[in-house]
Chain A
């Protein structure tokens, strides 16, 4: 393998099978919560100072102060949920439905003392609304806090593969 290629390889933390299992279950549960539109449970997945972030380009390294597709804290997520639940949210009538598959879960870093993790994974999402189906694929990168109640998301980065492409409709909520 050339030096350049090995230099570009992403870090991998050797974690226990138990940690690997716990984090996979957490990611699967997040996907299920989104597909089932369980909004209170969605918010509860995040720490109080968390951000959900979808950058506008793969090269972006910061969310704050940049043009993003998503950059939301609890209050903005609550606004979005308030809209979705409002009877006048016309484009939620009919609502969209999604099916997520999350896979390729690799723990990138583990803090030995706290058990906090950085985790990469891949997703594939089908979204259906008004006789039309769209697909989104990409990768997640979760910064997870290991709390007594289980993992909580401090930062979730979402890179969709077609990030620079034209959008044929908006993303009404998180992918």
Chain B
């Protein structure tokens, strides 16, 4: 740890790390800071666990981590969802070793065959007589699988908090709930359904570097110029060779090379608790037959006024801090799972809009492939930059990370800050304001 930079006698001095327009490199490179983030942020905030359509049937489960805690999301016989620590109360074995599966009507431990109901309550312990006249007690919570302290489901999106106290999920999301609403509202039936393929990508960089990149409107034309320009060239060739305009999917990657000014015209909005929104180009409304058919279905379900209102929602990208990056107009979601100060796992999903025609799903699928798959030509260069940032921040070549661009110029109303220009580093400042609050909060040191 960086000596006096970090310490105020109580062991942690957030003021030495975070200033309004710059942060210390130890925020990214210090293992003790990382451990504190796990305790103070990931073990307290609402963390995305999964979508309930991952577990449609009784006994279906999916595993993931909340901070350092392995958890199981499981579907109960009564249709409810439970999020339980993935740990056997007997001698500690994980109960579900797989990422997903079906455990039947109960969990059975592979070590000594203790059995648990799908809400985690112990169901059967072999050789029960051995517990006669011992201190073992079925009324003791230690005899059952431990549920997470709090769990809430919002429109199918399952979040958990390991802290027994704190704001409700909806209060915590605040105005950022618009991202989840936008994704679901775009479905004629008002719901989305997960596509079961989850791509997992390990980033050799701190989790915050990923989140800071997501709404960074300066980086696309620099980082992704090669892919954007290559796609623009092929768009022209395709038109010349086939006479047909290229499919919309090419626009997803060619747009990365659009002129800097256009990125600057986007609004970036900082919401309370670190959530942020980049508003922008996905709001484009093509008028091809597939889109028109979809628009008509939307009007039928919602009525023309509400349908227009939904389709006009102008969100490019939204962060639910600290755990999610959502691109609601294309139904993409990336969950952030920090591993260590310099390593982060992302779980990457996409969704179907229930009731939307197949060609509309194909747009989500194409984006998932081109931007979010393991063969992505876009994130190839992001991940490389992230890694280089991490390596630079671990050096002593400088102590500070600059977030000065347009600092002090944000337009603030009701706790929501809007940038004066899309290039503003408002999202980074906004995330660190939340970081500061989490990190210096009382308790659980």
Chain A interface (Cβ < 8 Å from any Cβ of B): 54, 56-57, 65-71, 75, 78-83, 86-92, 164-173
By beta carbon, the residue of chain B nearest A60 is: B197
> Chain B contacts of A173 at CB under 8 A?
375
Instruction: Give the docked Cα–Cα distance between A32 and B375 (Å).
Output: 21
Decide if A83 touches B234 in the complex (CB within 8 Å): no
- Stretch touching chain A among B32-40, B225-233, B288-296, B418-426: B225-233
Decide if B381 touches A90 in the complex (CB within 8 Å): yes
Which of B197, B246, B365, B375 lies in contact with A171, CB distance below 8 A?
B375
Instruction: Give the docked Cα–Cα distance between A169 and B230 (Å).
Output: 21
Instruction: Give the docked Cα–Cα distance between A80 and B385 (Å).
Output: 19
By beta carbon, the residue of chain A nearest B221 is: A88
> Chain A contacts of B197 at CB under 8 A?
56-57, 66-67
> Chain B contacts of A87 at CB under 8 A?
226
By beta carbon, the residue of chain B nearest A91 is: B384
Q: How far is the CB of A73 from chain B (nearest CB, A)?
A: 10
Question: Which residues between 370 and 412 of chain B lie within 8 Å of chain A, taking CB atoms?
Answer: 373-377, 379-381, 383-385
Decide if A166 touches B384 in the complex (CB within 8 Å): no
Instruction: Give the docked Cα–Cα distance between A81 and B231 (Å).
Output: 10
Q: How far is the CB of A157 from chain B (nearest CB, A)?
A: 15
Given A67-B369, A79-B230, A83-B227, A56–B199 Cβ distance below 8 Å?
yes
> Chain A contacts of B234 at CB under 8 A?
75, 78-79, 82
Instruction: Give the docked Cα–Cα distance between A155 and B369 (Å).
Output: 18
Given A56-B197, A67-B350, A90–B384 Cβ distance below 8 Å?
yes
Residue count of chain B within 8 Å CB distance of chain A:
40
Q: How far is the CB of B247 from chain A (nearest CB, A)?
A: 9
> Chain A contacts of B362 at CB under 8 A?
65
Question: Which residues between 222 and 263 of chain B lie within 8 Å of chain A, taking CB atoms?
Answer: 223, 225-227, 229-231, 233-234, 237-238, 246, 250, 253
Decide if B375 touches A67 in the complex (CB within 8 Å): no
Q: How far is the CB of A28 from chain B (nearest CB, A)?
A: 24
Given A79-B230, A166-B202, A67–B365 Cβ distance below 8 Å?
yes
Decide if B368 touches A67 in the complex (CB within 8 Å): yes
Decide if B377 touches A68 in the complex (CB within 8 Å): no
Instruction: Give the docked Cα–Cα distance between A118 and B374 (Å).
Output: 27
> Chain A contacts of B319 at CB under 8 A?
none
Q: How far is the CB of A139 from chain B (nearest CB, A)?
A: 18
Since A75-B246, A82-B234, A164-B99 are in contact, a sample of 19 more A-B pairs with Cβ atoms closer than 8 Å, ordered by chain A residue number, is A67-B195, A67-B197, A67-B365, A68-B369, A69-B375, A79-B227, A80-B230, A83-B226, A83-B230, A87-B226, A90-B384, A90-B385, A91-B381, A166-B200, A166-B345, A167-B199, A170-B379, A171-B375, A172-B377
Decide if A82 touches B373 in the complex (CB within 8 Å): no
Q: Is B265 an interface residue (CB 8 A)?
A: no
Q: How far is the CB of B98 from chain A (nearest CB, A)?
A: 10
Q: How far is the CB of B402 from chain A (nearest CB, A)?
A: 21
Decide if B374 touches A69 in the complex (CB within 8 Å): yes
Instruction: Give the docked Cα–Cα distance between A79 and B251 (Å).
Output: 12
Q: Is B201 an interface residue (CB 8 A)?
A: yes
Q: How far is the CB of B162 from chain A (nearest CB, A)?
A: 23
By beta carbon, the residue of chain A nearest B368 is: A67
Instruction: Give the docked Cα–Cα distance between A56 and B237 (Å).
Output: 30
Which of B200, B253, B365 lies in contact with A167, CB distance below 8 A?
B200
Q: How far is the CB of A169 from chain B (nearest CB, A)?
A: 6
Decide if B233 touches A82 in the complex (CB within 8 Å): yes
Given A91-B384, A170-B375, A75–B238 Cβ distance below 8 Å?
yes
> Chain A contacts of B369 at CB under 8 A?
67-68, 71
> Chain B contacts of A170 at CB under 8 A?
201, 374-376, 379-380, 383
> Chain A contacts of B199 at CB under 8 A?
56, 67, 167
> Chain B contacts of A65 at CB under 8 A?
358, 362, 365
Q: How far is the CB of B370 from chain A (nearest CB, A)?
A: 8
By beta carbon, the residue of chain B nearest A174 is: B375
Decide if A168 touches B253 in the complex (CB within 8 Å): no
Pairs A-B, 7 closest by C-beta atoms: A82-B230, A86-B226, A67-B197, A91-B384, A166-B200, A89-B226, A88-B226
Decide if A79 touches B377 in the complex (CB within 8 Å): yes
Q: How far is the CB of B166 from chain A (nearest CB, A)?
A: 30
Q: How far is the CB of A166 from chain B (nearest CB, A)?
A: 4
By beta carbon, the residue of chain B nearest A160 is: B374
Q: How far is the CB of B206 from chain A (nearest CB, A)?
A: 16
Q: How far is the CB of A162 from chain B (nearest CB, A)?
A: 11
Listed by A's residue number, 9 A-B pairs whose Cβ atoms lie within 8 Å are A71-B369, A80-B377, A83-B226, A91-B381, A91-B383, A166-B200, A168-B202, A170-B375, A170-B376
Instruction: Give the docked Cα–Cα distance between A66 and B361 (Å).
Output: 10
- B194-227 contact mask (Cβ, 8 Å, vs A): 1 or 0: 0101011110100000000000000000010111
> Chain A contacts of B230 at CB under 8 A?
79-83, 86
By beta carbon, the residue of chain B nearest A92 is: B226
Q: How far is the CB of B124 from chain A (nearest CB, A)?
A: 32
> Chain B contacts of A83 at CB under 8 A?
226-227, 230, 377
By beta carbon, the residue of chain A nearest B388 is: A90
From B237, B246, B358, B375, name the one whose CB has the most chain A CB atoms within 10 angstroms.
B375
From A57, A86, A173, name the one whose CB has the most chain B CB atoms within 10 angstroms.
A86
> Chain A contacts of B202 at CB under 8 A?
166-169
Which of A57, A69, A90 lies in contact with B226, CB distance below 8 A?
A90
Decide if B384 touches A79 in the complex (CB within 8 Å): no
Decide if B231 touches A172 in the complex (CB within 8 Å): no
Q: How far is the CB of A67 from chain B (nearest CB, A)?
A: 4
Which of B225, B238, B345, B380 lies in contact with A91, CB distance below 8 A?
B380
